[in-house]
Amino acid sequence: MQFEQLAIPEVVLIKPKRLGDARGYFMETYRADMFEREIGSFSFLQDNRSFSAEIGTVRGLHFQLDPKAQGKLVSCAAGALLDVAVDLRTGSPTYGRFVSAKLTSENGFQLWVPAGFAHGFCTLQPDTVISYKVTSYYSQEHDRGLLWNDPALGIEWPVAAEKAILSDKDRKQPTLDHLESAFTYNVK
Ligand SMILES: Cc1cn([C@H]2C[C@H](O)[C@@H](COP(=O)(O)OP(=O)(O)O[C@H]3O[C@H](C)C(=O)[C@H](O)[C@H]3O)O2)c(=O)[nH]c1=O
């Protein structure tokens, strides 16, 4: 299992080892010892799965406020998606910047998105299933969002705004300049 820090080093791309044989393949997709060594000690309280039927479905950008902020370990169980994380930690040298990774059921790659980041994705194939573990329970009261295609973020989504499939909620999320300060950056 390889752990690769992205341009925002707290966001980590995890590449499980694929062991192939005549039947197909086997992957260890999570090892607490390796995760703790490479990223830190977290307990995952909830597993989520969502199915998106169409290419160009965008879910996000979402986050939960403290004390229900969530770290997310994201993978693609079917199809393919572009996964995106945006740094929302006030005082961070990368505040407002994003990193992204292509997660597919074929590559088995995972993205670790820490608390303090907004998370979202766009499907790249029909019938895409995203599967993710989170470190805090869902709390509608603490659920917040950021407008997926806020020009200030500069995210080059693989779908045009007029073709994207979004929830009504996500069409109306605030832009970064209208976002209340949600998280603070703790210098290590
Ligand atoms: C997230 C969540 C939602 N729900 C309920 C609330 C709604 O009745 C329904 C759909 O929720 P929502 O439209 O917020 O689902 P997504 O648009 O897929 O939201 C997710 O998308 C992005 C990618 C994320 O990172 C978050 O985990 C999450 O916000 O499921 C629950 O019951 N539990 C939950 O943990």
Q: Does ligand 1 lie within 6 Å of residue 185's CB atom?
A: no
The partner residues of 102 in beta bridges, in order of sequence, read: 82
Q: Does ligand 1 lie within 6 Å of residue 121's CB atom?
A: yes
pTM comes to 0.96
Nearest CA owner, ligand 1 atom 28: 62
- Which three-class secondary structure state does DSSP give residue 150? coil
C-alpha of residue 184 to centroid of ligand 1, in Å: 24
As a whole number of angstroms, the distance between CA 114 and CA 122 comes to: 19
ipTM given for this complex: 0.97
Domains observed in the chain = 2-19+28-175 (2.60.120.10)
pLDDT tens-digit profile of 106-118? 999 999 999 999 9
Q: Is 153 left (phi over 0), alpha (psi -120 to 50) or beta?
A: alpha
